[in-house]
Structure 1
Amino acid sequence: MNALRTAVLLLATVTTGLMAGLFAGFAYAVMPGLSRVDDRSFVTGMRAINAVILNGWFALCFGGALLCTLAAVLLHLPADRRTPLPWLVAALVLYGLVLAVTAAVNVPLNDRLAAGGPGADPGELRASFESTWVRWNVVRAVLNTAALGCLGGALLVARSVGG
C-alpha cells in the first residue's frame, strides 16, 4: 500500500506540475508574445491554440491532476497515514480553484472568441478577451503552482514518516 500511495502522490505531483507549467508558460511567454501581434493575428492565434489544446495529453494532465490528488487524499485517510493530509487537502482545494477559474472565466472567454464569426471585428474580439483572460490565467498559474508546492510538501512529509 505504501507503493500505491507513493505512486499516486507522485502522479498527482507530476500532472499538477505539468498544468502549472502550462499556465505559467502562457503567462510569461505565449501571451506576451501574442500581445506583440496585430489584432487579426492575435485572434487567429488564440483560436488555433484553443482548438488544438483540447487533446488527450491535455485531458490526461488537466483531469489527472484532480483525480490523482483526490486519490492521494483518500489513500492518506487511514489514521496511521494522515501526516501529509493537510498538504494534500490544500493542494486539492487550490487545484479546485484552478478548475473553477477555468470554468467560470477562461473557457467562456475562449468560447466567445471562437463564436465571433468571420465578419467580426478582430480588434473588438481582442479587446473583450485579452486583458481579462491574461489576468485570470496568471491567477490559475499562481494557484496551480501553489498546489504543486503543497504536493511537494506532502511528498516530503510522507517520505519522512514512511508513506
Structure 2
Amino acid sequence: MATLSQIVLIAAVITAGLIAGLFYAYTCSVMPGLGRADARTYVTGMREINIAILNGWFALSFGGAPLLAAAAAALHFKAELRPALPWLIAGFALLLVMLIVTMAINVPLNNALEAGFDGDSTDFEALRAKFEGVWERWNLVRTLAAIGGFGALVGGLIAHVRA
C-alpha cells in the first residue's frame, strides 16, 4: 500500500511534468507560431490565450506543483526517507522560481498587453514590440526552471524508491 509520502511525491512529479510541458510547448511552438503572424494576429492571439489559460486544469498544475513539492519535502524529513530530501528541496526551489517569474513578470506583461488593447484603434506594432521579446525571454526562464524542478522531483522519486 502506498504511503502518504509516496502519493504526495507522485502527485508533485505529475503536476510538475504537466506545467513544465505546458511552458515547453509555449517555448517550442506557440510563441514561434505567433511570431510568424502579423502584429494584430499576435496581440489578439495572446489576449485569447491569456483568457483561455485561466482555468482549473492550469491552476491545478501551476499552483499544485510547488505546493505538492513543498509537501513532499516536508514528508521526507524522516531518517529513512532523507536521501530524497535534497532532490525535493531543489525541485521545490526551482518550481518556486517558475511561480515567481510568472507572477512577477509574465502576468504583469499579460495585464499590460490587455490594458494597451483598444479595439481597432490599437497600435498593434507598438504593443507587440513592448511585449514580445521580454515576455518570451522570461517564458524561457520559467520553462527551464519548471523542467529543472520536474527533473529534480523525478530524482527525488528515484531516491525515495531506493531508500
Counterparts of 2:78 and 2:161, CA distance in 1 = 16
- 1:100 deviates by 1.1
Instruction: Provide structure 1 residue ranges, at least 5 long, that are not aligned to the other structure.
Output: none
Q: What are the residue-to-residue correspondences of 1:32-71 with 2, within 5 Å?
A: 32-71=32-71
| Structure 1 runs, 4 residues or longer, greater than 4 Å off | none
Q: What are the residue-to-residue correspondences of 1:117-156 with 2, within 5 Å?
A: 117-118=118-119, 119-156=121-158
Counterparts of 1:145 and 1:62, CA distance in 2 = 13
Counterparts of 1:31 and 1:138, CA distance in 2 = 11
- 1:86 deviates by 0.2
- 1:66 deviates by 1.3
Q: Equivalent residue of 1:29, what SS?
A: helix
Counterparts of 1:28 and 1:68, CA distance in 2 = 27
Question: Cα RMSD (Å) of the superposition?
Answer: 1.1
- 1:2 deviates by 5.4
Counterparts of 2:91 and 2:105, CA distance in 1 = 21
Query: Is 1:88 the counterpart of 2:88 in the alignment?
Result: yes
Counterparts of 1:97 and 1:62, CA distance in 2 = 12
What is the aligned length?
A: 161
Counterparts of 1:60 and 1:126, CA distance in 2 = 30
Counterparts of 1:62 and 1:98, CA distance in 2 = 9
Q: Deviations over 1:74-114 (max 9, x none)?
A: 11112332110000000011111111111111001000001
Instruction: Provide structure 2 residue ranges, at least 5 long, that are not aligned to the other structure.
Output: none
TM-score, normalization by structure 1 = 0.95
Q: Equivalent residue of 2:36, what SS?
A: coil
Residue identity matched to 1:146: G
- 1:18 deviates by 0.4
Counterparts of 1:154 and 1:79, CA distance in 2 = 15
Q: Which residue in 2 is equivalent to 1:29?
A: 29
Counterparts of 1:45 and 1:24, CA distance in 2 = 18
